Structure 1
Amino acid sequence: PKSAIARVLPKSALLPRLLWRRPAAPAVLLLLLLPWSPARLSMKVFRRKALVLCLGYVLLLLLTMLNLLDYKWHKEPQQCNRPPPARRAPSSPQLPHFQRRSDIRSVYRLPAPPPRQRQLVYVFTTWRSGSSFFGELFNQNPEVFFLYEPVWHVWQKLYPGDAVSLQGAARDMLSSLYRCDLAVFQLYNTAGAGKNLTTLGIFGAATNKVICSSPLCPAYRKEVVGMVDDKVCKKCPPQQLSLLQDECHKYHTLVIKGVRVFDLAVLAPLMQDPALQLKVIHLVRDPRAVASSRIKSRHGLIRESLQVVRSRDPRVHRMPLLDASHKLNSKKEGGGGSDYHALGAMEVICSSMAKTLQTALRPPDWLKNNYLVVRYEDLVVDPIKTVRQVYGFVNLVVSPEMEKFALNMTSGPGYSSKPFVVSARNATQAVSAWRTALSFQQIKQIEDYCHQPMAILGYERVNSPEEVKDLSKTLLRMPRL
C-alpha cells in the first residue's frame, strides 16, 4: 500500500513528484527502490566499464610516450651495441633471420648494409715467370681462397691435345671454379674409374694454405704467414671436395693462378659476366729469363712443351731453331731434344703474349680497370711497392706480415737451382741469371721470337756477347703499359 512505501522512502527521494502523485503498480516501484534491483545493477556495471576504459586509455598514453622516448634514444648511434665486423662472410644467399621475440625497437633500426661483392682474380702468366712465388702472395693471405694451376687437370686428362684446342675447356673449368663449383674436378679425374677426387688429389694441394689449415687439417693456421711444408701437408687426412667447396663460399676473395691460358681473349666471357666481374693480373718476365728457366727444368716440362709446340702453325716459314749439333747432341750436353722443345715453345708463348698486350694497349670496355701488368723484375727488386700495388688493385689490405714475407723471399743468399720450389732468392741474381746461362745464339733466337712483347714491356735487346756479359748495364726500361 501507498502508506508502506511512504514509510520506506520519503516523497523528496528518488522519484519525482509527478511519479509520486500518479498511481503506479507497487511491484514496479519496489523494483526501483530495492538495492538489488536490475536498474541499480546495470548502473554499477556501467561505472566499472567506464573506469576500466579510463585506466586503459591512461596506460595506452603512457606506452606511447615511452615508445617515443625509446625511438629517440635508439635512433642515436650506439657504439657499444654495434657488432664487430666479420672477417669473412658467406657470399651465397642466406635465409632470412627471424627474431626469437618481438621487439618494437627493431622496427626503427637502420637497414643492414648490402653484402660485400666477391672479388675474383686470375693471375695470367706462363711457365717459369716467377708465378709460384707470386701466387704465394695470395696463398699466404688469410682473406684469400687460392687455387694453384687447376687447369693442369684438363691438360692431363685430355693429353696429347695441343695448347690451343684446350683453351675452351680451360675457360669452362675456371667459370665453374669461380662459382665455387668444385665438382668440375671430377670431370678431369685421372685417379681412375670409381675413385672420387679428394682435397689432396687437387694439383698443388700439398702447399695450399686452405687445404692444409683448419678446419680441413690441423697442420697449419691460415692466419699465420709462413710457407707450407709439403711433407707435413701430405699427412693431412683427405677430405671430400664438398667440404672444400663449403670453405670456398666463406671467402670474399678468390684467386686462381694459371699458366695454361694463352690469350686474354679466352677470358673475355668471364670478364664480361656481371655475376663474376673477373679481374686479371698479367705477370710477365723477360722472355730470355723464361727460356733459360725452361731449359733448366726441361725434363719436368717436357709434356707441356710438346703440347705447346704442337700448336705452332706448320704453314709459317720460320728460321731453324738453334743448330743441328745442339739439337742432336743430347747425350753430351744433357739437353738435346728437351732444349729444342723448351725453346720452340717460346714461339707460341710470345706470339700469344703479343696478342694480349696489343689488346691491353687499346683495351675494350670489358678490360678497362680490370687488367694489371706486373713485371717479375719489379717485384723482386722492390717487393713492398709491388705488393701494395697488386693488393690495391684487388681491394686487399697489405699487412706488415705480408710485407715482411715478400721482403724475405727476395733477400735470400743466392739463386736456387731447384725448379718448381719456392724459396728465398737473391733479387739481383734472379733478374740477371739468364745472361750467364744462355749462349748468344740462344738469346738471339728468343729475341727473334719475342721482340714484340719485349718492346712493349721494356726489355731491351742485346747486340753483342760482350753486352750480354756486362752485368753493370741494365736491360730494363719503362714499359709502355
Structure 2
Amino acid sequence: MAGVELFSHPALYTRYRAGLCSAAALALLLIAVLTYVPPLLVAYRSHGFWLKQSAYREQPTVRFRYEVLFVATTGPGPDSFLAWSTFPAFNRLQEDRLRVPLLSRMSTLVMQSMAFLQFFSPVPGSRLYMNGDLKLNQRQLLNHCGLDTRYNESVVNGTSPFAADYDLTNIIAAYRGRNVTTVFSDPNPVWMTGRAADTPFIINATIHYPEEVILISQDFGKLLNLPGSSMSAFSLSLSGSLIGLKCLCSRIRCLLQLQYHQFCHCLQCCPTNSISPEEMPEKTLKKPSSKISTCFYYLYTLFTLKDRTCFLNCFSSVRMARIRISSTIVILFVMVQTGFLVFMYARYSSFMLQSEEKTSQVHILILSSWRSGSSFVGQLFSQHPSVFYLMEPAWHVWVTMYQNSAKVLHMAVRDLVRSVFLCDMSVFDAYMPWKRNLSDLFQWAVSRALCSAPACDSFQRTDITSEMACKTLCGRYPFTKVEEACKTYSHVVIKEVRFFDLKVLYPLLTDPSLNLKIIHLVRDPRAVVKSREQSVKALARDNGIVLSTNGTKVEDSKYKVMQEICRSHVQIYETATLKPPSFLKDRYLMIRFEDLVRDPLSEISEMYKFADLSLTPTLKSWVYNITHGQGPGKKKEAFKITSRDAVNVSQAWRNVLSFQKIKKIQEVCKGAINMLGYQLVDSEKEQRDLSLDLVLPRRQNQFSWSSVNPKN
C-alpha cells in the first residue's frame, strides 16, 4: 500500500511510515499548511512586499449607442449657435436653432462613455477632419473579476426637460467625476476653407479604439501564481479537503479496529520504563472501556517503552487493515465534485467572458416604397396572433421635419425604428403631443395588436380585426398601451417606405440587442405609377422630401420621384446580393408583389418561414377572401385593405396608362425593371395583350439570400 515517510534517522536505521490517508499523514499535511499559509496571508493582508496591482492589454469591443449632442457656435452672442441631438427633450428646447445634420457612422461604441470633439477657427471653413484615438483613462483600479456596472448609464440625461442638463459645462464636469473615463485625442485636426454658399459644412470624424492597458487589483490566486484561475485553486483545495476528511474518518475507524492482543504481544516483548515485565500482562490485558480511552492508553504505553525500535519492528509485522469504501459512495462523491467544478466554472465564465445576449424577440422590417402593395403585406403579418405591427411610424419624423431631405432624415428614421423594435415608445415624444392616445399614432387602427388585449379589450388576439371597428372601439385608450402591448409579443414587425439605402440599416443589423430580418418588397414600376396617380395629393409632401425641395409639395409629373425609388430598389438589391456583408446572411428576402398575388399561400408561407412564423387556418381563409374579391377597388380605398381581385389589380396598369407614359416610366426605371425581372414593352399592342406575361419567372437565388429556398 502506498505510504508516506513521517520520520527517519540514518544513524539508528529508523524510519517511520504511514498510509497516505492515515491520521499521521494528515497531521503532517496540516502542520505544513500551518507553517506556510498563515505567513502568506498575514503578509498579503498587511500590504507588505506583495504586488498590489497588475495590468494586462486588451482590445476594447465597441458599439455606437446612437446618442449625439451637436452644438455649432455662429457668433459671439449667447444665442448664436445651432444645435441638434438624438435627445427629443433637448431638440424641443432649441426652437428655431434646431438643425438636423447628415451623419455618417465611421465606428461604433459599446461602452457608455463620451468622445468630446471640439475645434475653433476664426476662418470660415467648409470641412473639418478629425482622426484620433479614444483612450481609456483610469483613476481607480478595476476589480480582477466580476461585472462593473457603475457607469453603465448615459452621459447625457436625455429625458430631462431642463436646459441645464444639456449644458456642455455640466455634462463634462459630471463625466470627469467618474473614476473611469475615455478621452478623445487628435493632435492634428484639419480645417478646410472655401465653402460655397449652397454647400453644407461637413465634419468627418474617425475614431480609433487602440489596444488598452487595463489596471486591475490583484487576487490571491494570481499572487500564488497557480496555473489557471483562483477558482481552480479554490476548487482543488476544497476537493483535497473533502478527500482528506474521508480518508481521516476511514483511517481512524481502521486504527480502532486493530486486534488488541497483537498490540499487547508487542508490549510484552518490549518492556517499559514504568512497568515491569511481571506487571505487564495485568495492566495491558485489561482492555479500556471506550475507544477514546484506548487511544490515550496506546499513547501512554508507547511513550513509556524503553526500546521503541523493538516495538515498531514487532508491530510492523502486523498487517495494516485495509480501507474499504463503497463504490456507490465513490461515484456519488465524484459526481458531486464534478458538479461543483462545473458550477464554479460557469460563474467564472459569466464574470470573465461577458458574452452579448441577443434578444428573444424577432424583428422584421418590411422595406418597400409607396403604392407597392406594402400595406397588404403588412396586414399579412399584422393579423398574425404573435405579431406586434406598426405601419410607417417614421411618418411622424417626416411630418415634423418636412423641410429636410430624405437622406438627412435617414438617421432620425433609423433611430425611431430601432426604438420601436425595442418597444421603447418614448421616442415619439419629439414628434407627438405630450397627452396622446392610440389614435394619435399614424395608421394605428390597421394594427391588430393595438385593437386587442392588452392595448384594447374589444378583440382577442386570434380575431381578424378591421380598421373601421378598431377606430370606433379603441381610439381613446392611452398611448402607454402601445409599449405595454409591444412587450408581450414574440415578433415586432414594421412596414416602412422611408429608407432609400440598405447601408443605413447596417447599425441595426449589427446591433446585438436586435434580431432583425428584412423583407424587401418590390413591384413593377409601371404598376406603381398607376397606383400613385390615385393618391397624388396625399403623396405631394413626401415627394418634396424625396426631391429635397425644402418643404415644398411636389406632384411627380416628370417621374423624378419614381426615378429615385427605382434607383433605391436597385441599390438595396445589389447591396444585399452582390458581395454582401456576412451579417446580412439569412436575414434578407426579396418578394415581388406580382408573385404574391398570383400564388398568395405559397409566397406567404415563404415569408412566414423566413420570419419564424406559422400560417394558421384562420389566416389562410382570410388571405383567400382578401385576394379573391371583385374588381380592382375604388379610388377612395387607395390606402385601405379591402377584398379585391389581386391578379387584376397587378395588371390594371396595362389598360389604364397610355403607352407614352409607359415609355417614359421605362426610360427612368429601365435598370430596375430589368433587374427585378419584368419585361419591357415596345408597343401599345404588347402593352394591351394580357396574354403576354410581363412578369418573368424568378431565377434560383435571384431575389433572396436567406435560409428559405426560392422557387424556380
The TM tier, using the shorter chain, reads 0.5 to 0.7
Once the two structures are overlaid, the 10-residue window that deviates more, 277-286 or 399-408, is 399-408
State which of 353, 371, 395 in structure 2 corresponds to 1:128.
371
Verify the 8 A CA contact 1:357 1:453 in the aligned structure 2.
no
Q: Distance in 2 between the 1:444 and 1:214 partners?
A: 50
Tell whether the 8 Å contact from 2:385 to 2:461 is kept in structure 1 after alignment. Answer: yes
8 Å CA contact retained: 1:200, 1:234: no
Q: How many residues align?
A: 343
Equivalent in the alignment of 1:323: none
Shift of 1:140: 0.4
**What's the CA shift for 1:234?**
3.7
Q: Secondary structure at the match of 2:493?
A: strand
- Pick closer, same or farther for the CA change 1:435–1:287 going to 2, 3 Å: same
| Native 8 Å contact 2:517 2:587 kept in 1 | yes
Residue 511 of structure 2 corresponds to 273
Q: Within 2, Cα distance between the matches of 1:196 and 1:440?
A: 51
Q: 2:564 aligns with which of 326, 343, 348?
A: 348
1:279-328 Cα offsets, whole Å, 9 max, x none, are 0000110011001111121122111122223379xxxxxxxxxxxxxxxx
Contact 2:390 2:493 in 1 (8 A): yes
3-state DSSP of counterpart to 1:171: helix
Which letter maps to 1:399? Answer: T
2: CA distance, partners of 1:116 / 1:156: 31
Report the alpha carbon displacement of residue 156 of structure 1 after superposing the two structures with TM.
Answer: 0.4
Higher strand fraction (1 or 2): 2
Shift of 1:359: 0.9
Is structure 2 residue 415 aligned with structure 1 residue 176?
no
TM-score (norm 2): 0.46
Match for residue 77 of structure 2? none
Deviations 1:125-164 (A, max 9, x none): 0000111111111110110011111000000000122222
Distance 1:281 1:244 in 2: 24
Q: Is the 8 A contact 2:450 2:485 kept in 1?
A: no
Aligned residue type for 1:118: Q
CA contact (8 A) 2:403 2:549 kept: no
- SS of residue paired to 1:244: helix
Instruction: Note if 1:293 corresponds to 2:531.
Output: yes
Specify the alignment match of 1:390 in structure 2: 607
**1:3 alignment counterpart:** none
Moved more, 204-213 or 285-294: 204-213
Q: What do the CA deviations read for 1:317-350 (whole angstroms, capped 9, x no partner)?
A: xxxxxxxxxxxxxxxxxxxx73516x32101111
Aligned-pair identity in percent equals 38
Instruction: Answer yes or no: is 1:218 the counterpart of 2:435.
Output: no
In structure 2, the partner of 1:443 is 662
> In structure 1, how many angstroms separate the alpha carbons of the residues matched to 2:589 and 2:680?
24
Q: TM-score, normalised by structure 1?
A: 0.68
Counterpart in the other structure of 2:394: 151
Q: State how far apart, in whole Å, the 2-side matches of 1:137 and 1:415 are.
A: 19
CA deviations 1:170-213 (Å, max 9, x no partner) are: 00111111111001011111x4xxx3232221111122212222
- Measured at CA, do residues 350 and 120 of structure 1 come closer, stay the same or move farther in structure 2, by a change above 3 Å? same
Instruction: Describe the superposition over 1:334-379 as per-residue Cα deviations: whole angstroms up to 9, x where unpaired.
Output: xxx73516x3210111111111111122122121110000111111
Alignment check: 8 A CA contact 2:627 2:646 kept: yes
Q: Which segment drifts farther, 372-381 or 404-413?
A: 404-413
One-letter code aligned to 2:642: S
Partner Cα separation in structure 2 for residue 305 and residue 231 of structure 1: 32
Distance of 1:220 and 1:384 partners within structure 2: 25
What is the 5 A alignment of 1:30-69? none
- 1:429 aligned residue: 648
Which residue of the partner structure matches residue 366 of structure 1?
Answer: 583
1:431-457 deviations in Å (ceiling 9; x for gaps): 210111111121111111212222121
Give, in whole Å, the separation in 1 of the partners of 2:407 and 2:472: 33
2:410 to 155, 158, 167: 167
Distance 1:232 1:397 in 2: 25
> Partner amino acid for 1:260?
R
Structure 1 letter corresponding to 2:495: K
Q: Does 1:379 align with 2:603?
A: no
8 Å contact from structure 2 (residues 678, 695) kept in 1 = yes
Query: Secondary structure of 2:555's match?
Result: helix
Partners of 1:129 and 1:283 within 8 A in 2: yes
Q: State the alpha-carbon separation in 1 of the partners of residues 428 and 358 from structure 2.
A: 29
The corresponding residue for 2:546 is 308
Structure with the bigger RCO (C-alpha within 8 Å, sep 6+) is: 1
Could you say if the C-alpha distance between residues 465 and 115 of structure 1 is closer, same or farther in structure 2, counting changes exceeding 3 Å? closer
For residue 256 of structure 1, what is the aligned residue in structure 2? 494
Asked if 1 retains the 8 angstrom alpha-carbon contact of 2:414 and 2:504, the reply is: yes
C-alpha separation in 2, matches of 1:459 and 1:197: 45
Q: Deviations over 1:11-70 (max 9, x none)?
A: xxxxxxxxxxxxxxxxxxxxxxxxxxxxxxxxxxxxxxxxxxxxxxxxxxxxxxxxx9xx
Q: 2:418 and 2:623 mapped to 1: Cα distance?
A: 30
Amino acid at match of 2:660: Q
Answer yes or no: is the 8 Å Cα contact 2:654–2:687 preserved in 1: yes
Cα deviation, residue 214, structure 1: 2.3
Query: What root-mean-square deviation, in Å, do the aligned CA atoms of Structure 1 and Structure 2 show?
Result: 2.4
- Counterpart secondary structure, 1:360: helix
| 1:408 match | 625
* Structure 1, gaps ≥5 residues long: 1-67, 69-113, 313-336
Q: 1:295 to 1:176 in 2, by over 3 A?
A: same
Question: Mind listing any 5+ residue stretches in structure 2 that lack a counterpart?
Answer: 1-331, 333-356, 704-712
**1:351 and 1:449 in contact (8 A); partners too:** no
C-alpha spacing 1:460/1:200, structure 2 compared with 1 (3 Å): same
Q: Aligned partners of 1:351, 1:207: CA distance in 2, in Å?
A: 29
Is contact 2:396-2:431 (8 Å) kept?
yes
Q: Which amino acid letter does the alignment assign opposite residue 345 of structure 1? A: V
Match for residue 456 of structure 1?
A: 675
Amino acid at match of 2:569: M
Match of 1:201 in 2: 440
- Following superposition of structure 1 onto structure 2, how do residues 459-474 of structure 1 map, counting pairs within 5 Å? 459-474=678-693
